[in-house]
Every structure is written in structure tokens, then in C-alpha cells.
Amino acid sequence: MRSGLPAALLALLVLATPAAALEKCLTGGSTLGDQRALATLRADIDAACPCAAFVGGPGADRASYRRCARPIRDLAITSGALRPECRATATRGYSDTTCGAVGKVACGRVQPSSKAKPVGCSVKPASRCASTARFTETACSAQTHCSDVVDWTAGTCSDVRARAPYEAGVRTITFTKQSVVSPATQRPLDTVIWYPTNPGAGAINPTYGAVVNAPVAPGGPYPIVLFSHGSCGFPLQSIFLTALLASQGFVVVAPPHPGNTITEFPTCGTPAAQAASFVERPNDMTFVLDQILAENANAASPLFAALDPDRVAMSGHSFGGLTTYLVEAIEPRVKVAIPMAAAVIGQQSMSVPSLSLLGELDTRVSNAAIRTVYLASAAPKHLVEILDAGHYAFSGLCFPGSDCNPPVTLTQDEAHGHVLRWVRPFLETYLNGDASYSAFFLKPLPGEAVSAQLQ
């Protein structure tokens, strides 16, 4: 043996080594810990070596930035905060930046034909950031770190976490309909509608994550995303997603489902309430779609001519995921579907392009049943399992327990990052027809298990 050590001794050394130390950075059971350690290191470097302070010249050039960052990386490794296996990843994190690199940009590259590196980034002069027949390059002037270009823009320079190019506006309109279960009973649906407004339109209301009653930004008509909340949930349960989508050019329409909302807890979760909601929910969503399109046609409405009736997505979480299946089956105006941690009752399938999202540790719904629905659905379709995440990864709510138990599970912010990384690219690709966003499907983030069938 080239090491000169007996095979038995080598075997003992391997057994004595912690499993995590044998795993490459951002792989296996070490993935979540590595992600957190690298995020902490990035924050520490940003605090000690702010990129904006490195503007070129003596003591403020790129080499100076690297000298500032290097000992912070070394301390993280020697202290045990960062595994030695992540040294190279950490080094690239602060080396591949524009900090102190005057006249250079983070240049994102998309090369679908490359299996090894379909998405990449390098720092170079903007004049040299140019596409060829083999790949597309884009100068990402808003990003300073190549790691962000790869993870959050997939080389396209469009950051799925950014409120851009709009701000989010919001208003609530009550649409009243008859109950399906009890026709003599009226169901007032206080529907929350997020939409694009101009940056600087007003103060953001934290309850909605948007500017209340702001005017709709010019530039429409905008695509519609219907959102159905979970059982004992409410329309505002996922504003990390709904408000952000509005700032990115979508109109998100989220009605409540009376009898099955958090304001009616605990009766909202009884078998009777669940059975009634199973019948009422699909009708709630199709009715609200009718009403919102009537607003679109009404010259007196603040939403007049703001919506595109030919671009409608259906989405929802938990019972809202089941509602997504049910609505997609009966509503031909729905062009794409995004069920998130969906409850499954009966034999479901989808006939439109779909993005099915689930959490690895979900104890509230059956992941096996979600996978069965995915397999039965028509292509194109994507199934994304967020590792170390439970049922509430898709909500702003976090009920303590095995489904939301940081640091064992992802924090809400960590989980939400994975959700954002998929939802907008899916909508842009399959609802808006923007092929550039398909780059996001080429390289999943660590901590995601992905299946897809495109044809």
C-alpha cells in the first residue's frame, strides 16, 4: 500500500473518524451545518471587511479585501465553526467577488450543455462578459459575490429574493357568494390582492408586506397567481412569497375559506369543517377568479386592465395544495399549478405544467402520496423536496414541534429561501414563457432533492 500503513490500521482510522469529516463540503448529512457555517462566515466577513470600503487603490484593492477576509476564514476553521472540508468553498466565497476589483463585474454564465458546470460565474471586465454560441453570459452589476450569482440568479443576474422591478401594493376586496354546502348561507370572501406598484409608493405595512391601497404600476397586464391557504390558515400566512411575487410583476389573489380559517380555531379543524371545506374551497377559488376578472374589466376599478386573463396560476399550501389539485381539474383558465406540502385525498393528478414542493420532515401530510400525484401528472413537471424542512416551510407560521424545530430543522428564513428559489423561475418559465429562467432548473441548491420530466 502506498501509505505504508497496514489495511487493518487504515480501517481503524476510518472508523475513528467522525462521519461528517469524511463528507465533502455541502454534501450528505453535513449539508445543513455547512450551509449555516458558510452563511455565518459570509456575515462575519461582510461585517469586518465591508465590500463598499474596497474601492481600489492602496489598501482598498482586491488583494487587500482578500487579506482582510482570509484570517476570518482561518479562525472559523481552527475554532471548529467551519469544517476543514469547506476551506476551498469558503475561499471561493470571498475570492470570487468584485470587492476592490475596479472596472470588473460578476459575470454570470449559463451553459446548459455542460453537465459539470451548467451555471457559473467569474469576475472580469464587463467588456469581456459576452455570450457565444455555446453559452450565455450576463454582467451582474447588482451582485458583488459570484456565489450569489450562482445560487440566487442561476447565472441570469435576476435575483429571486429581490423586490424588483416593482414594489408590492395590496388591497382587500370582499366578494360574497352562496355556500355550496348550505345555499341559504352567504360566504363573504375578504380577498387579499397583492399587485405591482411603483417603488416609493408609500410605507410598507408589515402585516401585508406591501403598501396598502397603492396604485397599480403601469406595465401590465400582469399574470394572476391564485393562492389558497392551509387548513385553519388565512390569506396572509405566506407573505414572504405572495408579497414578493407582487413586487416581481405578478398579481396574487388570496381569499379566505370561511369555516376553515384560523379565526375559527379550533372548530376549523373538525371533521365536519374539513369535509365542508373540501366542497367549498374549489368553488371559492373559481368564484374569486370570476370576480377579479370582472374588476379587470370594470373601468371604475383600481384593478382595471391590470390583469392578464390568459396567464393564471393556481397555488396553495397544505389543504390549499389539495385545493390546487381540485381547482386545476375543473378550471380551464388555470395554466400552471404549484401545490406546496399538499394534502392528498383520493387519486389526484395534474394536466398542466406543475411544480410540486414538499418538506422532507413533513408529518402533517403524506409525502408518498404527493410523489404519487407527481408521477400521475402530465409533463412538464418538477418535484422539489426541501431537505431538513417540515410542513411549515411554505408558511410564515411556525408551530413548535418536529415540523418546525430549528436548529434541527431549517429556520423559516432558510426554508423560504428554497421556496423562492423555485416558485418565481417556474412561473416565469411556464406561465410567462421566459426561457431564460429555465437556467434555475439546471443546478439545484444543496439541500434539495429534485425530480423533473420536461416532455
Q: Please write the tens of the pLDDT for every residue from 354-373.
A: 999 999 999 999 999 999 99
Residues 351 and 426 in one domain: yes
Whether 55 and 145 map to the same domain: the answer is no
Query: Is 324 a domain residue?
Result: yes
Domain match, 194 and 297 both: yes
Determine which helix (DSSP H) or strand (DSSP E) holds 305, and give its type and residue range.
Answer: none
What is the pLDDT, as a whole number, of residue 22?
Answer: 79
Three-class SS state of 103: coil
Residues 192 and 47 in one domain: no
Q: Does 217 lie in the same domain as 322?
A: yes
A 10 A CB-CB count for 122 gives: 16
The stretch 103-109 carries a mean pLDDT of 97
Domain boundaries, position 129: 104-153
Cell match 389573489: residue?
A: 253
- How far is C-alpha 3 from the chain's CA centre? 47
Domain assignment present for 232: yes
**One domain, residues 130 and 205:** no
In a domain, 18, yes or no: no
**Using CA atoms, how far apart are residues 280 and 225, in angstroms rounded to an integer?**
19
Is pLDDT at 417 greater than 90 in this prediction?
A: yes
- Looking at the structure, tell me whether residues 148 and 245 fall in a common domain: no
pLDDT tens for 112-156 read 999 999 999 999 999 999 999 999 999 999 999 999 999 999 999
**Residue 431 included in any domain:** yes
**Percent of the chain at pLDDT exceeding 90:** 94
C-alpha cell at 283: 368553488
Going by their DSSP bridges, the two strands 186-197 and 167-178 should be labelled as antiparallel
Q: In sequence order, what are the residues at sequence separation of 6 or more whose Cβ sits closer than 8 angstroms to the Cβ of residue 256?
A: 189, 190, 191, 229, 234, 235
* Residue 424: CB atoms within 10 Å: 23
Residues 236 and 117 grouped into a single domain: no
Residues 344 and 433 in one domain: yes
Residue 12 lies in a domain: no
Note the pLDDT tens digit of each residue in 238-269: 999 999 999 999 999 999 999 999 999 999 99
What is the bridge-based pairing of β-strands 222-228 and 211-212?
unpaired
What is the phi-psi region of residue 18: left when phi exceeds 0, alpha when psi lies from -120 to 50, beta otherwise?
beta
Q: What is the Cα–Cα distance from 395 to 413, expressed in whole angstroms?
A: 10
Burial 286-308, CB ≥16 within 10 A → b, else e: bbbbebbbebbeeeeebbeebbb
| Residue of 356, 404, 395, 398 lying closest to 377 (CA atoms) | 356
C-alpha span between 88 and 90 (Å, rounded): 5
Determine, yes or no, domain membership for 236: yes
pLDDT tens per residue across span 265-308: 999 999 999 999 999 999 999 999 999 999 999 999 999 999 99
- What's the rounded Cα separation, in Å, for the pair 272 and 127? 65
Identify whether residues 228 and 146 lie together within a single domain: no
- Domain shared by 88 and 112, yes or no: no
At 47-93, the pLDDT tens digits run: 999 999 999 999 999 999 999 999 999 999 999 999 999 999 999 99
